[in-house]
Structure 1
């Protein structure tokens, strides 16, 4: 099984990272994919990848919540990293209109710029959306030339939104939200095209039930798989096989 979105390089794991990786391996999660968020996360992310080279693979990108007035400079620095290191994706990128709309124009510019890098380098993109699904889809439709591919991570939307995402050739990353009683995903997951589903935790955030509200970790990917299996009336092994295959194909692992 693959946790396709985990921030185990974050300071929340500084005290017990070895144990966290060990627990993941014991649960059958043998790969953990690390999305970058800003300039400060690059060093800890690459150090984590270097410490667990068999398990961790990193991506490079600028998260929309870290877009500010210096966005052009930041993007230049991030772009330069692709010439120095082998990354599996451009991510995590996107649009977030939940917290603050001050830099909305800059967020859109950064998103489109990074989509273009993905086309140039033939890499998948990992997309973060919050209160911005329509805006994100509109920009993607404009930029999709048949070569763009990737995942809307932490998907918690409707069946219609899932279809719109799939129609653009993009996957859905299912995580802890899929297990929340009031998340509404029990109405959505039964109708998803499983050829476009991958699993993730987004740890340390959004821990699945029964750990909701606590620190999330890659081992809990298993709980997401279990919930998907229940809702689809499949075995956990079938969900594991299918989602792992999808992730390997998408990220060229």
Structure 2
């Protein structure tokens, strides 16, 4: 299995990162993909990738919650990293209107700018949305030239939104929300096109049931795969095989 979105470089894992990675390996997770969030996360992310080079693969981008009045300078620094290191994706990027709308215009500017980078660099994008799926889709549609690919990570929207995302050629990252009793995904997952689904944890956040409220980690992704299998009336092996294939293709991962 592949955890397509995990922040195991975060301080929450400083005391037991080796054990966390080992637990993931023990249940068959052989790759953990690391999205960047801001300027301060770059160093710990790259250090984690260097510590587990066969397992961890990093991305580079500016998360919308960390967009502020320094957007021009911050984007310049982020863009410079693509000249210094090989990354598997531009991410995580996007629009978040849940916490604060103060820098909405700057978020949209940062999102468009990083979509342009992805087209130039021929890399997929990893998109964060919160209270913003429709706005994000509108921007993405205007930027889609047939070359953009990527994933709406931590998807928790409607089947209509899922279909609109797929129509643009984008995948859906399914994580712990799929296991929440009132998350609504029990109605959506049975209708999804599994050729566009990949698995993730977004750890240390959004731990799946029965670990909800606790620190999430890659090994918990097995619960997400099982939830999808149950809702689709499939074998978990078939779910993991299909989603692994999707993830490999999207991020151009080596076996």
Give the aligned partner of residue 195 of structure 2.
Answer: 195
Question: What is the alpha-carbon root mean square deviation over aligned residues?
Answer: 0.3
Partner SS, residue 238 of structure 1: helix
Give the aligned partner of residue 72 of structure 1.
Answer: 72
Matched, 1:55 2:90: no
| Alpha-carbon distance in structure 2 between the residues aligned to 1:241 and 1:196 | 13
Q: Give the alignment of 1:148-227 within 5 angstroms.
A: 148-227=148-227
Give the aligned partner of residue 121 of structure 2.
Answer: 121
Partner SS, residue 188 of structure 1: helix
Q: Once superposed, which parts of structure 1, at least 4 consecutive aligned residues long, lie more than 4 Å away?
A: none
Give the aligned partner of residue 45 of structure 2.
Answer: 45
Q: Give the alignment of 1:85-96 within 5 angstroms.
A: 85-96=85-96
Aligned length: 253
Return the TM-score normalized by structure 1: 1.00
Q: Deviation per CA, 1:61-96, whole angstroms, max 9, x where unpaired? A: 000000000000000000000000000000000000
Give the aligned partner of residue 235 of structure 2.
Answer: 235
| Alpha-carbon distance in structure 2 between the residues aligned to 1:213 and 1:221 | 15
Displacement of 1:27 in angstroms is 1.0
Displacement of 1:38 in angstroms is 0.0
Return the TM-score normalized by structure 2: 0.99
| Alpha-carbon distance in structure 2 between the residues aligned to 1:220 and 1:2 | 12
| Alpha-carbon distance in structure 1 between the residues aligned to 2:184 and 2:67 | 30
| Alpha-carbon distance in structure 1 between the residues aligned to 2:62 and 2:221 | 24
Partner SS, residue 84 of structure 1: coil
Q: Specify every segment of 5 or more residues in structure 1 that has no aligned partner in the other structure, as ranges.
A: none
| Alpha-carbon distance in structure 2 between the residues aligned to 1:37 and 1:27 | 27
Partner SS, residue 33 of structure 2: strand
| Alpha-carbon distance in structure 2 between the residues aligned to 1:136 and 1:170 | 12
Give the aligned partner of residue 147 of structure 2.
Answer: 147
Partner SS, residue 127 of structure 2: strand
